[in-house]
Structure 1
Amino acid sequence: MLTFGCLTLNKNIEREYFTQIAKKGRLFGFEVFCFSPADIDPKTELVHGKKYNPETENWDHSIFPIPTYIYDRCFYSSEDVLKKYGPIVQWMKNRKDIFFIGHGLPNKWKIYNELSSHPILKYYIPETIKAESADDIFNVLKKHKKIILKPENGAQGRGIIALSMKGRKIELITARHKKIIRKIFSKKDDLKKWLTQLLNVHSYLVQEYLPLHDEEMRPFDIRIFMQKTENNNWQELGRGIRKGIEGYIISNLHGGGTVEKFENFLRTVDRKKRQLLLEDIETIVTHLPQTLEQSFGPLFELGIDIGVAKDGSVWVLDTNSKPGHKTILLTNPAISEQLYSAPLTFCKQMDLQRS
């Protein structure tokens, strides 16, 4: 049988998702495994991970060769974690006997430089700078009065910070463990010291803070989920509205946000603005996946986060090659069978093309 591996840094985070895929393994002629880069023995190159048992419907501890087809769902929570496990993943990608269904995307700065130079997509990309020093951040804050800092290698909304000028004071807002953290800096030197320490540990990007809130002052965005068909063509599986908690910076579900159907949101939009919004989304969906693939290599799925400002302007907030599936499953449960089968269907087609 063919071998399919779910690659993850934490086997519990997406356990149910991996299990649903594994249940379909036998139907497509696959043995399904789950493992972490840390599970690979560097001497034998064997994996000490888990193998799905279709008879018991359990994941059993097992020792096995690295699977031929790998679905990379590793989320790097920090640059240290990336440095620790990234080289192992890259080593597997470089092997000619192992095939990844999508090679992922680089950091946000590289993505920004690519999209901001695109003749069409550039109009949807917020102006961004890389913070080399605290002074870089202060310069943007002085210009816009309210800004947002995003980790260059961030994922799942971690580490995002908002700074806003309040008279002679500066307010900092961030979130940790689903709790809002606010801090007021009365002296610029105190904030400069804090930012310098932050930049010594993490790389950050700086943007103007865009007014992307609903009437209840809850941050919201449109998550569009795209995936490759077995014929290597892009298709949209669905879109939904993600709303954050009032006072939060972003609408990320990991921060306690909620999901609503896109159609419900669309009915609240003025008819003229509605048509323009749909046209803008269609432009983004048409050009963005191909542009990223041309620049960074093959992808399998893509989460595109789109913000709509009060003035109707549309912005690409983030692109994620390892998107979560909660939004699409909550807004369209009927898509579940297709969603769980897609990685195996794609690999099966890859195998046919290779043979």
Structure 2
Amino acid sequence: MQSFGIISLDNESEKNYIDGIAKFAHKYDFQLYRFTPDDIELENEKITGFKFNSKTSIWEEKTFTIPTILYDRTFYRDEIEAKKYSRILNPLKASSKFHFLGYGLPNKLKMYEMLKHNERIRPYLPYSKQVNDAGFVIDYLSNHQKILLKPVFGSQGRGIFVIQKQGHLYDIQTVKSQSLIIKTFTEKRLNQWLQMLIANYPYLLQPYLSLKDEKEHPFDIRILLQKNETGKWSVRGKAIRVGQKNSILSNLAAGGIPKTFDSWFKKQTAEKKVFIQESINEIINTVPTLLETIFHPLFEIGIDIGVDQKGAVWILETNSKPGRNVFLTLQPEITETFFRAPLAYGKYIISSPKKGMVNDEQVLSN
């Protein structure tokens, strides 16, 4: 029986998902473990974590050797946390003893800088630039009126701001606890606020894209791709996330609601349908292979796609540790598929171990 370990930052993270995987592990001849990076002793390759007892369906605290197959489900809140745990996980990613289902992706800015060189993908990428000083933002606003500031590290819409120039004043919008917060600053106050913001966290600037539906609700398309039991990329689901009216975010954590892709797509004009479908096909047929060519092997990818009010299609974000809630809410019948998928791909890696290894000593940090 092979060993399969799931890594998360705490042992309650994604509990339902990991418990679901555990219930099917024995069917794939895996002994399942879960643990945190802090539980790992690199010197003797031992871990004190939890072992799943398939007979009792109980997690038992045990000390064990580092599992052969590793599934990284750590979500870092900032660069400091990413660097801290990368020092623990990177030696495992660089070792031929262990096989990760996926080796992660770099931050948003590095992703943009690498992907923009691909001619097929470049048209779908919003311009992105790291904010190094407040003056750059203010100068950009003088020509573009409205921008988006997004943390280089981060997820679930946390720390996102929309800034709009209104004459000599500036409106700043953000979402906290699912509520839209708006503040108005003078240029001097905006300068001070921006300097404080970028002093604590790296941010990137993007042009504001009007990604709203006919009812003025922000929305985006979430596509989940995973490798199947033969190592081929497969689309597991497509869904629409619709935010609250006049909000700036559509993700579920900010109060958005899921809708089926088909219910939205059928409302589009025939011409728009063709353009959107061709664009999505090009994105999902290009991005996974491109990312693995530039970076390292992956198991799953979440791609968030925006369609602006002019019909243009944009890649908003690409995530190597995607969530599943939007799909489970709309299609609960695929729950078992999600539980089995990591195990099925893990079996494929064992049969073709080179498919789950990196070739470089330098591995990704998040």
Could you state the TM-score of these two structures normalised by the residue count of structure 2? 0.93
Cα pair distance change 1:62/1:176, threshold 3 Å: farther
| Equivalent-residue separation in structure 1 for 2:239 and 2:179 (angstroms) | 24
In the alignment, which residue of structure 2 is the partner of 1:198? 197
In the alignment, which residue of structure 1 is the partner of 2:38? 38
Q: Please say if 1:261 is aligned against 2:260.
A: yes
| Equivalent-residue separation in structure 2 for 1:317 and 1:343 (angstroms) | 25
Residue type at the aligned position of 2:153? N
| Equivalent-residue separation in structure 2 for 1:58 and 1:139 (angstroms) | 58
SS at match of 1:222: strand
Checking the alignment, whether the CA contact within 8 Å between 1:6 and 1:71 is kept in structure 2 is: yes
5+ residue gaps, structure 2, are 355-366
Q: CA deviation at 1:148?
A: 0.5
Query: Which structure 2 residues correspond to residues 20-39 of structure 1 after superposition, within 5 A?
Result: 20-39=20-39
Could you state the TM-score of these two structures normalised by the residue count of structure 1? 0.96
In the alignment, which residue of structure 2 is the partner of 1:122? 122
In the alignment, which residue of structure 2 is the partner of 1:105? 105
Per-residue CA distance 1:56-106 (angstroms, 9 max, x = gap): 212222222111111111111112211221221212211221110110100
Cα pair distance change 1:179/1:42, threshold 3 Å: farther
In the alignment, which residue of structure 1 is the partner of 2:333? 334
In the alignment, which residue of structure 1 is the partner of 2:142? 142
Per-residue CA distance 1:193-243 (angstroms, 9 max, x = gap): 111111111111101110001123221000011011222211111100011
SS at match of 2:170: strand
Per-residue CA distance 1:107-161 (angstroms, 9 max, x = gap): 1111111221111111111111111111121122222111101111222222111
SS at match of 2:41: coil
Residue type at the aligned position of 1:192? N
Q: Please say if 1:242 is aligned against 2:237.
A: no
In the alignment, which residue of structure 2 is the partner of 1:151? 151
**Alignment size in residue pairs:** 354
Checking the alignment, whether the CA contact within 8 Å between 2:300 and 2:320 is kept in structure 1 is: yes
Moved more, 208-217 or 312-321: 208-217
Residue type at the aligned position of 1:223? R
Q: CA deviation at 1:354?
A: 4.0
5+ residue gaps, structure 1, are none
Q: Which has the higher contact order (CA 8 A, sep 6+)?
A: 2
Q: CA deviation at 1:43?
A: 5.1
In the alignment, which residue of structure 2 is the partner of 1:76? 76
Give the alignment's Cα RMSD to 1 decimal: 1.5
| Equivalent-residue separation in structure 2 for 1:342 and 1:292 (angstroms) | 20
Residue type at the aligned position of 1:5? G
SS at match of 2:314: strand
Checking the alignment, whether the CA contact within 8 Å between 1:107 and 1:152 is kept in structure 2 is: yes
Q: Percent identity?
A: 38
Q: CA deviation at 1:282?
A: 0.7
Residue type at the aligned position of 2:204? L
Query: Which structure 2 residues correspond to residues 1-355 of structure 1 after superposition, within 5 A?
Result: 1-42=1-42, 44-185=44-185, 187-354=186-353
SS at match of 1:293: helix
| Equivalent-residue separation in structure 1 for 2:70 and 2:43 (angstroms) | 21
Q: CA deviation at 1:52?
A: 1.4
Checking the alignment, whether the CA contact within 8 Å between 1:223 and 1:242 is kept in structure 2 is: yes
